[in-house]
Amino acid sequence: MRSIRTYNAISQKGLVLFPEAQYKVDSVVGEPDAIMLRSHNLHQETFTDSVKAIARCGAGVNNIPVEECTKQGIVVFNTPGANANAVKELVLGGMLLASRNLLDAASFSQLLDTNLESGEFNKKVEGGKKKFVGSELAGKTLGVIGLGAIGANIAHAALALGMKVVGYDPVLSVEAAWRLSSDVERADNLPSLLARCDYVTLHVPANEHTKNMLNAENLEQAKRGLVLLNFARGSVVEEAAVLAELESDRIAKYVCDFPSPALMDRDDVILLPHLGASTGEAEDNCAEMAARQLMDFLENGNIQNSVNFPNLRLERSEGYRITFANDNVPAVLSGVLALLSEMNINVIDMLNKSRGEVAYTILDVADQPTDELLAAIEAFEHVSHVNTF
């Protein structure tokens, strides 16, 4: 029986995929094979030796000590794209909240005096609306910082709404570049993007490279009246610089999914409680994808959508499977293959890939691996986490 320790509210649609006869899945499991979570912070936790994998139902992995996991041979997964549509729709909502003064207009309507007779009441309605005159999105320019799953979705939706779109993503993957419309203009740097855009939205991961990527220096290049949207993470903008530019009216509105005390009680800031991925559809998608990835890893050793291990998947053939991780140094794989050859074990199929300092191998062999063979592989220098399936 394998066990999965869960944190946060994870959709049942994903959790029910684990067959009850083979998996125990709950929030109190003691020595889990794997952890499944959303935004719960794992940085202060220690992992028992039993933990082989962590699956983030979502995109951001800044709540997981990924480097430490790699050192411990723990494979960390996320679910790329599974919540992108939900975030896209909320960003569009954020743009409309800001451009049409919707929150103030709704509050105004809620507070209308119900004791007025109908003529007076309608006068108040019609008289009030001039306070909330907005502007349209069509014809305006949107800057998208980070053109991955979410950024590309938003860029395409904005183009469909008649906006011009400028994108900035110096580390864009080839796959993401293929998905992106050629109507998205490329900005070579942030100041040039900021200078051209009426709206700017951020969709980068939170890491040491993106910390304060919008800051006092580049925000002073922004076009006056900018609407800035942050549905990435609080850390990607320098909060004091945003507040200063709100004071100077260079930034007209800041729409942010990550409230902090300094941002509260301001008319020019719209705060949401980390709602980007909170739709039933996105929660289902993320949980299902995470559950499938975990099961494929725990049952077959396949790795899909890992953020720290190479991604590799080998269809099961006849025979038995051995997997192992190793430091990405020469002669490890050749050593293991030589050992199999010495033991007269036929390799049916094989995949090996490296990523940074770690490599991972899937070997399908004709004979059932003995404990002696597995121990001999584990005894190789640089090899760890030998498994058989």
Ligand X SMILES: NC(=O)c1ccc[n+]([C@@H]2O[C@H](COP(=O)([O-])OP(=O)(O)OC[C@H]3O[C@@H](n4cnc5c(N)ncnc54)[C@H](O)[C@@H]3O)[C@@H](O)[C@H]2O)c1
Which residues sit at the interface with ligand X, rule CB under 6 A?
58-60, 80, 83-84, 87, 145-151, 168-172, 176, 203-206, 209-210, 231-233, 257, 274, 276-277
| Closest-approach residue to ligand 3PG (CB) | 58
With respect to ligand X, which residue has the nearer C-beta, 116 or 171? 171
- Does the protein bind ligand 3PG through residue 250 (CB under 6 A)? no
First to last CA, the chain: 14
The residues that bridge with 143 in the sheet, in sequence order, are 166, 200
How many alpha carbons fall within 13 Å on the CB side of residue 282?
A: 19
- Does the protein bind ligand 3PG through residue 148 (CB under 6 A)? no
Provide, rounded to whole angstroms, the least separation between the CB of residue 276 and ligand 3PG.
Answer: 6
Provide, rounded to whole angstroms, the least separation between the CB of residue 204 and ligand 3PG.
Answer: 11
Q: Which stretch binds ligand 3PG (CB under 6 A): 27-35, 104-112, 132-140, 276-284?
A: 276-284
220: tokens are 């002073």
- Does the protein bind ligand 3PG through residue 204 (CB under 6 A)? no
DSSP string, 156-191: HHHHHTT-EEEEE-TT--HHHHHHS-TTSEEPSSHH
Which pairs with CB-CB distance under 8 Å and at least 24 residues apart come from 246-249?
249/224, 249/225
Q: Report how far residue 240's alpha carbon sits from residue 259's, in angstroms, rounded to the nearest whole number.
A: 14
**Binding site partner of 14, from ligand 3PG, ligand X, none, Cβ cut-off 5-8 A by kind:** none
Are 254 and 247 spatial neighbours (Cβ–Cβ below 8 Å)?
no
Site string for ligand 3PG, 64-93 (x = CB under 6 A): -------------------x----------
Provide, rounded to whole angstroms, the least separation between the CB of residue 190 and ligand X.
Answer: 8
Q: In 147-169, which positions are buried (b, 16+ CB within 10 angstroms) versus exposed (e)?
A: bbbbbbbbbbbbeebebbbbbbb
Q: Which stretch binds ligand 3PG (CB under 6 A): 43-51, 143-151, 212-220, 275-283?
A: 275-283
* Burial environment of residue 22 by CB neighbours within 10 A (0 to 12, 13 to 18, 19 or more): exposed
With respect to ligand X, which residue has the nearer C-beta, 222 or 325? 222
Nearest Cα neighbor of 4 from 57, 43, 41, 44 is: 57
C-alpha dist (Å) from residue 20 to 57, 111, 252, 287 = 20, 53, 53, 17
Among 2, 38, 164, 253, binds ligand 3PG (CB under 6 A): 38
Q: Which stretch binds ligand 3PG (CB under 6 A): 69-77, 95-103, 119-127, 270-278?
A: 270-278
**Binding site partner of 39, from ligand X, ligand 3PG, none, Cβ cut-off 5-8 A by kind:** ligand 3PG
Strands 383-388 and 320-327: antiparallel
- Does the protein bind ligand 3PG through residue 59 (CB under 6 A)? yes
With respect to ligand X, which residue has the nearer C-beta, 204 or 376? 204
DSSP letter for 64, please.
S
Q: Report how far residue 257's alpha carbon sits from residue 226's, in angstroms, rounded to the nearest whole number.
A: 17
**Binding site partner of 146, from ligand 3PG, ligand X, none, Cβ cut-off 5-8 A by kind:** ligand X
- Does the protein bind ligand 3PG through residue 295 (CB under 6 A)? no
- Does the protein bind ligand 3PG through residue 58 (CB under 6 A)? yes
With respect to ligand X, which residue has the nearer C-beta, 34 or 213? 213
Among 141, 192, 212, 278, binds ligand 3PG (CB under 6 A): 278
**Binding site partner of 279, from ligand 3PG, ligand X, none, Cβ cut-off 5-8 A by kind:** none
- Does the protein bind ligand 3PG through residue 39 (CB under 6 A)? yes
Q: Which residues neighbour 26 within 8 Å (Cβ) at sequence distance 6 or greater?
A: 4, 5, 6
Provide, rounded to whole angstroms, the least separation between the CB of residue 245 and ligand X.
Answer: 20
46: tokens are 């220690």
With respect to ligand 3PG, which residue has the nearer C-beta, 218 or 285? 285
Provide, rounded to whole angstroms, the least separation between the CB of residue 290 and ligand 3PG.
Answer: 10
Q: Report how far residue 140's alpha carbon sits from residue 222's, in angstroms, rounded to the nearest whole number.
A: 15
C-alpha dist (Å) from residue 99 to 132, 135, 197, 278 = 10, 6, 14, 23
* DSSP count for the chain of H helices, then E strands: 13, 16
Q: Where do contacts with ligand 3PG occur on this chain (CB under 6 A)?
A: 38-39, 57-60, 83, 276-278
